[in-house]
Homo-oligomer: A and B are copies of this chain.
Amino acid sequence: MAVGTKRPKKSASRKAAARAPARAVSANGRARRATHKWVYLFEEGNAGMRDLLGGKGAGVAEMTRAGLPVPPGFTITTEACNAFYKRTERFPDGMWEQVRTSLRDIERKTGKGFGDARNPLLVSVRSGAKFSMPGMMDTVLNLGLNPKTLEGLAALTGDRRFTLDAYRRFIQLFSKIVLGIDGALFEEALDRTKKAKGAKSDADLKPSALAELIAEFRGIVKQHASGEFPEDPMEQLRAAIGAVFASWNNKRAIDYRNYNRIPHDLGTAVNVQAMVFGNMGDDSATGVAFTRDPSTGEKRLYGEYLTNAQGEDVVAGIRTPKPIADMAKELPAAYRQFEQIARRLERHYRDVQDMEFTIERARLWMLQTRSGKRTAEAAVKIAADMVRERLITKQEAVLRVEPAQVDQLLHRRIDPKADVKVLATGLAASPGAAYGVAVFDADRAEERAHGGEPVILVRIETNPDDVHGMIAAQGVLTSRGGRTSHAAVVARGMGKPCVAGAESVHVDLVKRQFTAGGVTIKEGEPFTIDGSTGRVIAGQVPMLEAEISAEVEQVLRWADQMRRLEVWANGDYPHDATRARGFGAQGIGLCRTEHMFMEQERLPIVQRMILASDETARRRELKRLLPFQRDDFYGILKAMRGLPVIIRLIDPPLHEFLPSLEELLVEVTRAQALNKPESEWREQATLLAAVRDLHEQNPMLGLRGCRLGLLFPEIIEMQTRAIIEAACRLKKERVPVHPEIMVPLVGTKEELRRTRERIDSTAQTVFDETRTTVRYKVGTMIELPRAALTAGQIAESAEFFSFGTNDLTQTTFGVSRDDAEGKFLLRYVEDKVLPRNPFETLDRDGVGRLMRIAVEEGRRTRPDLSVGICGEHGGDPESIALCEELNLDYVSCSPYRVPAARLAAAHARLARVERDR
């Protein structure tokens, strides 16, 4: 049943749920239906039955089968839930009978009776879908209590207060969830009673007060529900199960599924389980624990517990829980048993477990176990340790570490040993630590940053107008907004640290200061943020630069053995190349030559070259540039010795090397308005005319890339000469070299054919002059839709393709990233017009399809065509998975992303092998 995003009216659905059980046992039941198995005892299930039993049901089933002490119970299947919806919210035939039978099984195992006044069985009724949807659906505890069983339980436990409190909680929860009565009515009554009795907390309420409260609760039910509060436990159970089914389609749950892209037709299972109580005295307790430290990965039990308490007390934070180690002294037998079970669970699941347990009168009950969430460091250490312990294979170890976690370890971090003063904690929105002076608007941030000061931009929220300030800042702090807020998304896109939604930070934009943790930081005063943890920290603190630990190295080396894709790096300078090699890059996938043009002593030459009136003058300036470029290429080729280095010929439109039109216009206009002598502004006016001449409406689609080279072949000649001369020199020095020359922005085969002719003839000239030859390749960026669509033709002249997915995404979508990201693209992502930012993760349907065409048709023309990607997507795990599927040869990303990319490439390969199996 596809529910879609339809939202059933809440009241109607509730009524249906309440009505459901009665109809389910009507005489209409057909025999065929009755034979279907709707209910599984815990011992009948296992971990592989998540589809049918839900995650929680499969989990307790697995624990039960493993012989662990799990309170007995059963699971009503997701099929039953779907049948319930198909029958317009009536139980499927036979289900209720199976529930009754299974309930008798629990009674047998616990020796208690459901509704038995002397030895009453209480149960919990919990939802449990295939995918965890924490807090989204409903749970009823202590079901089975009524005035009679209450007395029995009180007698049995000897604790009347506890029993009354349990009953009070049951009525409250059941009324809200099953009967659909506004929970606030009960909360108000509780508050009134506490106030009247002078009770500080719920626990201070005496039995008599609780009894009065219960009477009041009953009154509320009588007034707001159609009848009395149901006292028959079987009736309670029927209604609770119907309510849990119905909660699958409450608004919260539907929104959650839409957001997390969980299908709406899975349905939820319902788990009915005997209650155990950690609040039955000092030999009772409740707690949570990890089998290993989830922060560091250290191999020791890690967790906390509370004696004489219920699970919710741990969460509520009224009493401070004790470290789990203390339990060894306080409840030694239970601790030993728990330790054993923890070891066994870890071995069973072959992963760190996050466990919930309750000790009821010295008896240990395991309530839940699941894979434990862990930090990046812990993930890596645990994975490496478990391989050493022969618990998991190297493949599993590699799969246990997320590329993002490796990425995180490669960001600047605050020294864990440092003594820091935390002023506030917000969301860890974009990893890494940053230090700078506080600045409260984007323009000033830009100004001060350009002045050489490190700044942190502090805003209540950011919006597109702030982007230039974010670019200039070391990091960003906002007091409002979540992980998908503008600040968070943009900062992650930029790879800048960001703490978002730090609500305890009070930003005063008028006074230009913020206050947090009692400290006021004014504009220009320094502080630190930690985007990996969300901390806002006073002053400057010692930081650790990114580094790769031995364990990370180990996992990455394993990943290297498993991946098929090579990982290359983008880098323009020798130091980039050196760093990339250090991170394991197997080549340079993109060396942008124009960055070299921008350097101080070169720019004037470049400008003279651009303004040259004829080819002769242009060649003269190019000759001056040649030695600079040759040295650059010499350095980078030397740093990569023997590994391939792809050097891209000049790409940007020429006006990028000249002053801005607006600036010049202002200067000239002002000088003219003030009647200054022409000699003072003639030069600027000339420059303005030249810039005007080069001005384009849409420079991204203008005179750039190979188009420049076809108009001014002398530029291509100079660059080729610089590359080949550098390579020849290294060859003479016996350094192996593999230069590859990449032609940008090719859209037609003829563009590449002609450019290549020029490159080859220039190379031949250098070979003749130097009496050396080196092997080099010529290839092209595939960054225009037409290049992809005609790749079969283009491959005639190309020995390699490199997908320039930034530009390819821009042209395929018709979206200029610079313009769009602030103006509408992030909003598109926020509003889910787009599932994600296509500049971060490759768009499979559009850009990915073009890539597939290009790879297939390019290789059809030239089977040994080397194909890679050098856009920013090259470092994104999901995009890397697509590159694996498309049979690319390598991905190339920024040096810092290389380690994560190595891991992601292994993941992609393993997933594909698994899928193809």
- Interface contact B711-A819, CB-CB below 8 Å: no
Give A670-728 interface residues, CB cut-off 8 Å to B: 670, 672-674, 693, 696-703, 707, 710-711
Give A730-778 interface residues, CB cut-off 8 Å to B: 745, 747-748, 750-751, 754
Q: In the complex, what distance in Å separates the CA atom of A196 from the CA atom of B696?
A: 66
- The answer to whether residues A697 and B811 also contact, given A711-B824, A750-B834, A827-B711 and a CB cut-off of 8 A, is no
- Interface contact A820-B703, CB-CB below 8 Å: yes
Q: In the complex, what distance in Å separates the CA atom of A818 from the CA atom of B819?
A: 19
Q: Which residues of B contact A789 (CB under 8 A)?
A: 812, 845-846, 849-850
Asked if A67 is an interface residue, CB under 8 A from chain B, the answer is no
- Interface contact A812-B785, CB-CB below 8 Å: yes
Q: In the complex, what distance in Å separates the CA atom of A748 from the CA atom of B750?
A: 32
Q: Which residues of B contact A820 (CB under 8 A)?
A: 701-703, 707
- A664 CB, nearest partner CB in chain B, Å: 11
- Interface contact B710-A824, CB-CB below 8 Å: yes
Neighbour of A850 across the interface among B703, B745, B785, B827, CB < 8 A: B785
CB-based nearest B residue for A671: B673
CB-based nearest B residue for A786: B846
- Interface contact B843-A786, CB-CB below 8 Å: yes
Asked if A165 is an interface residue, CB under 8 A from chain B, the answer is no
Q: Which residues of B contact A700 (CB under 8 A)?
A: 697-698, 701, 814, 816
Give A26-48 interface residues, CB cut-off 8 Å to B: none
Q: Which residues of B contact A816 (CB under 8 A)?
A: 696-698, 700-702
- A198 CB, nearest partner CB in chain B, Å: 52
Neighbour of A823 across the interface among B673, B702, B783, B832, CB < 8 A: B702
Q: Which residues of B contact A308 (CB under 8 A)?
A: none
Q: In the complex, what distance in Å separates the CA atom of A670 from the CA atom of B433?
A: 46
Asked if A865 is an interface residue, CB under 8 A from chain B, the answer is no
- A848 CB, nearest partner CB in chain B, Å: 9
- Interface contact A810-B846, CB-CB below 8 Å: no
Neighbour of A669 across the interface among B666, B814, B819, B843, CB < 8 A: B666
Asked if A504 is an interface residue, CB under 8 A from chain B, the answer is no
Q: Which residues of B contact A349 (CB under 8 A)?
A: none
Q: In the complex, what distance in Å separates the CA atom of A843 from the CA atom of B789?
A: 11
Neighbour of A833 across the interface among B674, B748, B833, B847, CB < 8 A: B748
- Interface contact B747-A814, CB-CB below 8 Å: yes
Neighbour of A701 across the interface among B707, B786, B815, CB < 8 A: B815
Q: Which residues of B contact A614 (CB under 8 A)?
A: none
Asked if A548 is an interface residue, CB under 8 A from chain B, the answer is no
Q: In the complex, what distance in Å separates the CA atom of A661 from the CA atom of B660?
A: 13
Q: In the complex, what distance in Å separates the CA atom of A702 from the CA atom of B464?
A: 14
Asked if A807 is an interface residue, CB under 8 A from chain B, the answer is yes
Q: Which residues of B contact A810 (CB under 8 A)?
A: 701
Asked if A784 is an interface residue, CB under 8 A from chain B, the answer is yes
Q: Which residues of B contact A784 (CB under 8 A)?
A: 812-814
- Interface contact A750-B811, CB-CB below 8 Å: no
Q: In the complex, what distance in Å separates the CA atom of A670 from the CA atom of B774?
A: 59
Q: In the complex, what distance in Å separates the CA atom of A225 from the CA atom of B30?
A: 112
Q: In the complex, what distance in Å separates the CA atom of A816 from the CA atom of B698?
A: 6
- A414 CB, nearest partner CB in chain B, Å: 37
Copies in the complex: 2
Q: Which residues of B contact A754 (CB under 8 A)?
A: 833
Interface residue range, chain A: 35 or more
CB-based nearest B residue for A848: B789
Q: Which residues of B contact A886 (CB under 8 A)?
A: none
Give A567-590 interface residues, CB cut-off 8 Å to B: none
Q: In the complex, what distance in Å separates the CA atom of A674 from the CA atom of B831?
A: 48
Q: In the complex, what distance in Å separates the CA atom of A672 from the CA atom of B673?
A: 9
Neighbour of A665 across the interface among B665, B697, B783, B814, CB < 8 A: B665
Asked if A793 is an interface residue, CB under 8 A from chain B, the answer is yes
Neighbour of A751 across the interface among B701, B812, B833, CB < 8 A: B833
Asked if A662 is an interface residue, CB under 8 A from chain B, the answer is yes
Asked if A866 is an interface residue, CB under 8 A from chain B, the answer is no
Q: Which residues of B contact A748 (CB under 8 A)?
A: 833-834
- Interface contact A819-B665, CB-CB below 8 Å: no
- Interface contact B846-A814, CB-CB below 8 Å: no
Neighbour of A697 across the interface among B699, B747, B814, CB < 8 A: B699
- Interface contact B747-A783, CB-CB below 8 Å: no
Q: In the complex, what distance in Å separates the CA atom of A832 from the CA atom of B754?
A: 11
Asked if A395 is an interface residue, CB under 8 A from chain B, the answer is no
Q: In the complex, what distance in Å separates the CA atom of A784 from the CA atom of B665?
A: 35
- Interface contact A702-B819, CB-CB below 8 Å: yes
Q: Which residues of B contact A813 (CB under 8 A)?
A: 747, 784, 786
- A662 CB, nearest partner CB in chain B, Å: 6
Q: In the complex, what distance in Å separates the CA atom of A847 from the CA atom of B790?
A: 10
Q: In the complex, what distance in Å separates the CA atom of A188 from the CA atom of B157?
A: 134
Mask, A770-805, CB within 8 Å of B = 1, is 000000000000011110011001000000000000
- A669 CB, nearest partner CB in chain B, Å: 4
Q: Which residues of B contact A849 (CB under 8 A)?
A: 789
- A4 CB, nearest partner CB in chain B, Å: 13
- A843 CB, nearest partner CB in chain B, Å: 7
- Interface contact A750-B812, CB-CB below 8 Å: no
- A465 CB, nearest partner CB in chain B, Å: 8
Q: In the complex, what distance in Å separates the CA atom of A850 from the CA atom of B784?
A: 13
Q: Which residues of B contact A850 (CB under 8 A)?
A: 785, 789
Q: In the complex, what distance in Å separates the CA atom of A845 from the CA atom of B819?
A: 30
Q: Which residues of B contact A823 (CB under 8 A)?
A: 696, 702-703
Q: In the complex, what distance in Å separates the CA atom of A834 from the CA atom of B746?
A: 12
Knowing that A673-B673, A785-B814 touch, tell me 5 more A-B residue pairs with CB under 8 angstroms: A661-B662, A666-B669, A701-B810, A750-B832, A807-B814
Listed by A's residue number, 5 A-B pairs whose Cβ atoms lie within 8 Å are A661-B662, A710-B833, A751-B833, A785-B785, A789-B845
Closest 4 CB pairs of A and B: A786-B846, A701-B816, A698-B816, A673-B673
